[in-house]
Structure 1
């Protein structure tokens, strides 16, 4: 089987390329630029393109499949050649379905918590040496790649993104997997550049419910009012199972599940709801509650999801992927609830198209109110790159409804400001889907003033 990837450097794309290479397929690919860790991973498996750039000569009639990444444009010469030759062109979610249509498919959707729920399920199944395939949006401890596709595994666990599948397939990715077991963790408006209204966005989840195979299961967050109303109205022929925050206690900065006092390495209501979703999926896969608790107690979290960078007697420093308003508010609340005796310095980098949309910015109102010290950072280069007029400090403060909020657009200035604060009895939470202008966050965490 000969497979060519157009825009092979993407996170999911390069992992799928590696998975198919391991399966014995002949894999080639192209891209105009590839960053780490994709470069090293592709090179390690001998499938890194010899040179960057697009070349229509790579597209020949002996290719069985062309897989098109979202990064490619409609006038991409390789795409145009593949269309001219009448080759079968898939988006990566469409091809994942082709590879797994005879398996049991678990698809985790929702505006937030997808990666964590997926990671929890993978951790539990791995704990019991179950044979499964997977697609997840973050690199996990104990897993070599973010995608695994084999002939032997009877099921696949898929993190189902609601973003578009490819430049020529404008359907959300999670519609294409045709789940047997579907999860919706909650709905909070995102991707304003694609779904300009809340109604446009929520409709995608309504459609997702209809893609769940007849007789399947829908596991959903019953505490989300909009989602709850949607599920109640749905006429899909599926079993509907709602979940809430499980019984638990927080004592001396440690969260435990009740009634058996299972000690957890993760915390916060958001993570606890994620855990309950994962538990219900595992129940459907013949893992009972006692087995689930035993396995989940050793789960330390997904990368960049309340990831602990440093810890002292006085200060914990966390890195989190939170960037949308709902994620920002939930993550701040989680840290404040876990450490009631400590102050919290919370810093968010606005980085996505949605968060930098002036009309959307007002959605962040009051999201950082629980932080003792709120900071917003936007890399000035991001405005230039995305051709957006820069926000002023007063505009950001007005959007967040906080005159005390600090605003920075230079990473060096932000770093100096943080190093000048006293972190005795204070935690630091750094939230972004970007990289804070290339700041070395672990080094920053070690250098903070905690004396």
Structure 2
């Protein structure tokens, strides 16, 4: 039995990998200084929740086969230092995923936006047709107990490829470590400015990603994104290239229909970005041997990945969605999608600017026009977060200037935002609540309950 120890086991990705290895029969231990839900309960259910919080160098012993180091751990983590002292192999999360999948056909889905949804669509269609694969995805899916699955038997592994850093010891982008046989790039839009200070530096990671594809491998890419096309055309790698674009569709009575050879196909998801994601997923499934008719049969029941245009409530008076959108390109595409779907309703676009990199004044201007399609525009941020990080303060006027819209309602308190949402006339409105956080702990189900 292999013994593996996780440093920072409570992370969203880390705890899922820990569960996958536990279910594969490994002896799994771990440590962390904070573990939140749902990680805590899910680890406890498998008997691998640390007994107490903190770092314990005595847990690092010579009989460990591997130590897996999470991004949450600092460079002076005492358990990591002990592992280095004992000469135990330390892996980053993506390094260990590659170690587990190096004898499989690796499918890696990358891009600044859409990668979670495309990965989810592929897995949904494979699951629908009872095709068993290993996987790693960044959202909880209907019909899947965990977000990482690893076996010795399955031929394919489907992985969401993140461009963020691998670990405190390994500053390479995660997706550079997977060496895919089949890869997809959905789009390139500047993100993670805390580690990629310029757009060119950020875009370079995708050039490196293309160069990491195995010789003779397949590259699927969004041909409507000029930056994606540029990095694809500039590669000298010997690859099979498959471009995709947005498919034909219509909207009737609030339902999007995909045009197919067999007639219009009703979909549960909507928006240009999701239609584009769908075609990327189709191209991946085709590489795995799935016919178009089988893909169409499966995709019509796909309801979306968790926190991606997730329905909060639908009543005769109003509709409310929440979405993980936080980067400018994601905010733009999701807002545009909702307005296109509900042209006869008042769209209330509410964005919480939650990440420190997004609150950087130099990056804030990237949001210009992102909420333009909303009829009522709201931005919420917490100045206290800036004080804690000793960052340059920004004002509501700075927000309006960056977005290029003086009509934006700016809230610096989640309590005041809650009061506004409670009091606004909700009739004939669609609420789009966008954040990678939780609006200061606001219960959106309570805000948008049927009886208000």
Structure 2: 5+ residue runs without aligned partners? Answer: none
- The answer (yes or no) to whether the contact 1:423–1:448 under 8 Å persists in 2 is no
- The answer (yes or no) to whether the contact 1:191–1:353 under 8 Å persists in 2 is no
- Give 2:370's aligned residue: 367
- Give 2:162's aligned residue: 161
Q: Select the residue among 383, 386, 389 that pairs with 1:386.
A: 389
Residues 75-114 of structure 1 correspond to what in structure 2 (within 5 A)? 75-114=76-115
Residues 127-276 of structure 1 correspond to what in structure 2 (within 5 A)? 127-259=128-260, 260-276=263-279
> Is 1:305–2:286 an aligned residue pair?
no
> Is 1:409–2:412 an aligned residue pair?
yes
Q: How many residues align?
A: 449
- Give 1:55's aligned residue: 56
- Give 1:45's aligned residue: 46
C-alpha deviation, 1:389, in angstroms:
3.7
C-alpha deviation, 1:358, in angstroms:
1.1
2:363 and 2:20 map into 1 onto residues whose CA distance is: 38
1:255 and 1:328 map into 2 onto residues whose CA distance is: 20
1:184 and 1:212 map into 2 onto residues whose CA distance is: 12
1:448 and 1:358 map into 2 onto residues whose CA distance is: 40
C-alpha deviation, 1:445, in angstroms:
1.1
C-alpha deviation, 1:229, in angstroms:
1.7
1:386 and 1:315 map into 2 onto residues whose CA distance is: 38
- The answer (yes or no) to whether the contact 2:315–2:450 under 8 Å persists in 1 is no
Per-residue Cα deviation, 1:238-278 (whole angstroms, up to 9, x for no partner): 11111110111111110011032111000000000000000
- The answer (yes or no) to whether the contact 2:254–2:341 under 8 Å persists in 1 is yes
Residues 421-440 of structure 1 correspond to what in structure 2 (within 5 A)? 421-440=424-443
C-alpha deviation, 1:447, in angstroms:
5.7
Residues 298-337 of structure 1 correspond to what in structure 2 (within 5 A)? 298-337=301-340
> Structure 2 vs 1, CA of residues 439 and 447 (structure 1 numbering), >3 Å: closer, same or farther?
farther
Per-residue Cα deviation, 1:85-112 (whole angstroms, up to 9, x for no partner): 1110000110000001011110000000
- Give 2:402's aligned residue: 399
Higher mean displacement: 84-93 or 383-392:
383-392
Higher mean displacement: 383-392 or 119-128:
383-392
1:409 and 1:359 map into 2 onto residues whose CA distance is: 20
2:384 and 2:451 map into 1 onto residues whose CA distance is: 26
1:426 and 1:336 map into 2 onto residues whose CA distance is: 11
Per-residue Cα deviation, 1:290-333 (whole angstroms, up to 9, x for no partner): 00000001000001100011001231100001001110110000
SS of 2:449 mapped into structure 1: helix
TM-score, normalised relative to structure 2 = 0.98
Higher mean displacement: 414-423 or 88-97:
414-423
- The answer (yes or no) to whether the contact 1:109–1:174 under 8 Å persists in 2 is yes
C-alpha deviation, 1:79, in angstroms:
0.5
1:37 and 1:389 map into 2 onto residues whose CA distance is: 33
Q: Select the residue among 348, 352, 355 that pairs with 1:352.
A: 355
Per-residue Cα deviation, 1:380-412 (whole angstroms, up to 9, x for no partner): 443244332432111111111111101111111
- Give 1:443's aligned residue: 446
- The answer (yes or no) to whether the contact 1:265–1:298 under 8 Å persists in 2 is yes
Structure 1: 5+ residue runs without aligned partners? Answer: none
SS of 1:316 mapped into structure 2: strand
**Cα RMSD for the two superposed structures:** 1.0
C-alpha deviation, 1:448, in angstroms:
7.7
Residues 7-18 of structure 1 correspond to what in structure 2 (within 5 A)? 7-18=8-19
